[in-house]
């Protein structure tokens, strides 16, 4: 497991060491000791989540507020997505900055999203199975988000917006300037 820092402090791309032969493959997708040694962060995951979505589905940009904030370790089990994070941490020198990465079933990359970040993804394959671990339980009352097309963020989703499929909730999310920065 190799951790590669992103331009956003505390956010890492994880590149797994992959072992394959004629039987198939094996890789260690997470190792607590390796993660803590490389990042200096202690994360205890408490819940795994999985979704399946079709091409054009955009989920996000979501986060949980206050004591219900969540760190996430995200990956794609089948297909491909453009995964996007936004730093919304109060006082962060990268507040309002974004990072995006293609996560696929063939590149086996993962993204560690620390608490205090909004997160979303766009499915770029016909379908995608998206899997993620979180370090805090879901709390509906603490759920919040930022609209995907916020001009302040200027996210290039790499696909024409007319192809997007969004939930009604995600179409109504506020702009970055209208949310409270997160204290983590």
| Token pair for 131 | 């899997």
Out of 44, 95, 119, 132, pick the active-site residue: 132
Query: Residue 182 in contact with residue 90, Cβ under 8 Å?
Result: yes
Helix (H, G, I), strand (E, B) or coil at 10: coil
Q: Output b/e per residue, 104-119; b: 16+ Cβ within 10 A.
A: beeebbbbbbbbbbbb
Residue 95 is among the residues annotated as catalytic for this protein: no
DSSP state of 136: S
Query: Residue 88 in contact with residue 145, Cβ under 8 Å?
Result: no
Paired strand residues for 81: 103, 123
CA distances to 16, 108, 110, 114, 136 from 34, in Å: 12, 17, 15, 16, 21
Out of 62, 108, 119, 148, pick the active-site residue: 62
Residue 66 is among the residues annotated as catalytic for this protein: no
- Active site residue ranges: 62, 132
């Amino acid at each position: 497991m190799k951790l590669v820092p992103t331009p956003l402090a505390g956010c890492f791309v994880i590149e797994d060491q992959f072992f394959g032969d004629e039987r198939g493959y094996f890789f260690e997708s997470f190792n607590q000791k390796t993660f803590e040694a490389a990042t200096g962060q202690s994360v205890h995951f408490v819940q795994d989540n999985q979704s399946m979505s079709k091409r054009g589905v955009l989920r996000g940009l979501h986060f949980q507020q206050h004591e219900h904030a969540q760190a996430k370790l995200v990956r794609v089990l089948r297909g491909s997505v453009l995964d996007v994070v936004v730093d919304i941490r109060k006082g962060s020198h990268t507040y309002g900055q974004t990072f995006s990465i293609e996560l696929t079933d063939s590149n086996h990359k993962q993204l560690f999203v620390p608490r205090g970040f909004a997160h979303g993804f766009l499915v770029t394959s016909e379908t995608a199975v998206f899997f993620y671990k979180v370090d805090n339980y879901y709390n509906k009352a603490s759920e919040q988000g930022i609209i995907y097309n916020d001009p302040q963020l200027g996210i290039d989703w790499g696909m024409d917006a007319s192809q997007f499929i969004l939930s009604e909730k995600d179409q109504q999310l506020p702009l970055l300037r209208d949310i409270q920065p997160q204290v983590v």
